[in-house]
Structure 1
Amino acid sequence: MHNKAKVSEFSYGFLHPKYWGIWLMVGFLRLLHCLPWTAKLWLGKKIGRLFMNLSKSRRETAKNNIRHAFPELDESSIHDLTQKHFESLGISLFESMLVWWGDHRRNKDNPFEKSLVSYENIEVLRQAEASKKGVIILVPHFTTTDIIGLFLSFKTSLKPVYRPHDNLLMDYLIAKGRTLDNMTPLSKFNTRAMIKTLKSGENLGFLPDQRFRAKGRIDVPFFGENAPSNPATSKLAQLTGCIVLPTFLTRLDNGHYVVRFEEPVENFPSGDDYEDTLKLHHIYEQAIRANPAQYLWVHNRWDR
């Protein structure tokens, strides 16, 4: 069992001077949240470009990942795609603020955030839920990871799995910010709660696509090169008999969003973790090729 369970309650220890920098940052972000949505989109792009220029290591990681995934691109195109990716990262900062402090916190019936999103193939989600088998809503790591949880919460209840932050105050703030009336985060180390959620016929939000080096890793091709991968989706499906539903969010240029529910993954699990994970990788790749700038390229997916 991981020694950092989710921090669900405020601690007076968070007032210690070592946390003051975090509180100042949160206060500054809270002020920025007061800007109009169009201004946030514009400023987010500027912040993203600034981050790209200041963080050489992240910039080079993103470029190397993009270069590998899209070998057909020349260096100029790689630079342009990298810049768009960092702009998307900058916007994601304001998307997180929207999740933490948005109108939905006060206006339950018709919050501003509902006007930003539309849904495709939602009947697929309804059919999966009607089976009462439990649903893994599979959401790969795009820059829109935070806000897709909010948009999903407008249509259903779910328990998104997240990695506890090493800093206890940040862990508390993130968990609190992502907790809604029908959305309760689960630590990725709480496997028992995940299984219980699915066996109860509920929805689990799952993001298993990043580099995985822990016990049980398997090496499976991703964009043609072996990547250390987590077979947990296959394991959970084997243990619970749940439905696996790939779900993607696209941020359009006009600031609107589209949540798209794909058909449930067929013949899953197959009993072969490698083949199951390879099948998921192919689904991710297709979505990434359709929306490359918004995938999370700043983390190295490959073991190199």
Structure 2
Amino acid sequence: MRFLKRRQHIARRNLELCFPNLSKEEREKLLVENFESLGMGLLETGMAWFWSDNRIKKWCKVDNLEIMSRIRANGKGVLLVGVHFLTLELGGRIYGMYNPGVGVYRPHNNKLMDWVQVRGRSRSNKYFIDRNDIKGMIRELRKGEILWYAPDHDYGPRNSVFAPFFAVPQAATTIGTSILMRQADPVILPFTPKRHADGSGYTVLVTEPPTGFPMDDSTAAATFMNKVVEKEILKAPELYMWLHRRFKTRPAGEISLY
């Protein structure tokens, strides 16, 4: 319970910071929905890692599959932007069944758990790259691979710049996207795994690639990507991982937002 209370505080604070124009009642409603989704997300991880393809297909679908087909016909690599939704594991499994790619992940400290998560995530994808292996990511994108990538968390001050995120004017944002774009010139393709409100299943929402990425300015690039992430989050805000300390890294001299 202590863990949940701490995470509840973090999630509530994130919602206050990101959506100051919502009433307190509206934010509390969103918070309750978010923690309900957290419990469901644990079950959905099991579905993603252990269900058969046929069983997954009975419950899930992907919108706009033709977008990926069109991109792949040009031979370019694809930066598949999947932000940290609580349905993320299931979304990766669903989309990978139609377009398997390469995942970026943080190896688990426990070797057994690392084996379990890699095995589960590999059910419909090719293989995985350590999130610190930027050269490996560039190599795969240059080969024309689909690379699953999540640029939405606060990964600390190293290799980050401050850029606006929702109503927070300075949020530490990775410059990794900028490096990948400059070195490999992939197509950015956002996707959102959304749970149906009536409990009838899941749809992976895929939208047209955003254009106009600022190649020569890391801060402008981070701002651009945060806007892409915001747009995806607003499709299902109750499913986003608000319990992460998204604003833990502050500019020098600023106090903690938590």
How many equivalent pairs are there?
A: 247
1:293 pairs, out of 238, 242, 251, with 238
- Encode CA deviations 1:8-38: one digit per residue, 9 max, x unaligned: xxxxxxxxxxxxxxxxxxxxxxxxxxxxxxx
Task: Using CA pairs under 8 Å that are at least 6 residues apart, name the structure with larger relative contact order, 1 or 2.
Answer: 2
Q: Does 1:253 align with 2:202?
A: no
Amino acid at match of 2:220: E
> Cα RMSD over matched residues?
1.7
Runs (4+) off by over 3 Å: none
**Is the 8 Å Cα contact of residues 92 and 144 (structure 1) preserved in structure 2?**
yes
- Percentage of pairs with the same residue: 29
- Encode CA deviations 1:39-94: one digit per residue, 9 max, x unaligned: xxxxxxxxxxxx6x861100010011011111122222222211110111111111
2-side partners of 1:169 and 1:264: how far apart? 37
Query: What is the match of residue 67 of structure 1?
Result: 16
Q: Does 1:270 align with 2:215?
A: yes
Which of structures 1 and 2 has the bigger CA Rg?
1
SS in 1 for 2:75: coil
Query: What is the match of residue 19 of structure 1?
Result: none
**Is the 8 Å Cα contact of residues 238 and 269 (structure 1) preserved in structure 2?**
no
| 1:286 CA drift (Å) | 2.2
Structure with a larger share of its residues in strand: 2
Query: 5 Å matches for 1:19-168?
Result: 55-104=4-53, 111-168=54-111
TM-score scaled by structure 1? 0.77
Structure with a larger share of its residues in helix: 1
TM-score scaled by structure 2? 0.90
| 1:148 CA drift (Å) | 1.0
| 1:158 CA drift (Å) | 0.5
1:198 pairs, out of 127, 130, 141, with 141
| 1:181 CA drift (Å) | 5.3
| CA spacing shift, 1:125–1:229, aligned 2, 3 Å | same
Query: 5 Å matches for 1:174-193?
Result: 174-180=117-123, 182-193=125-136
- Encode CA deviations 1:262-296: one digit per residue, 9 max, x unaligned: 21121224311111221121122222223110011
2-side partners of 1:100 and 1:120: how far apart? 22
Q: Does 1:223 align with 2:166?
A: yes
Unaligned runs of 5+ in 1: 1-50, 105-110
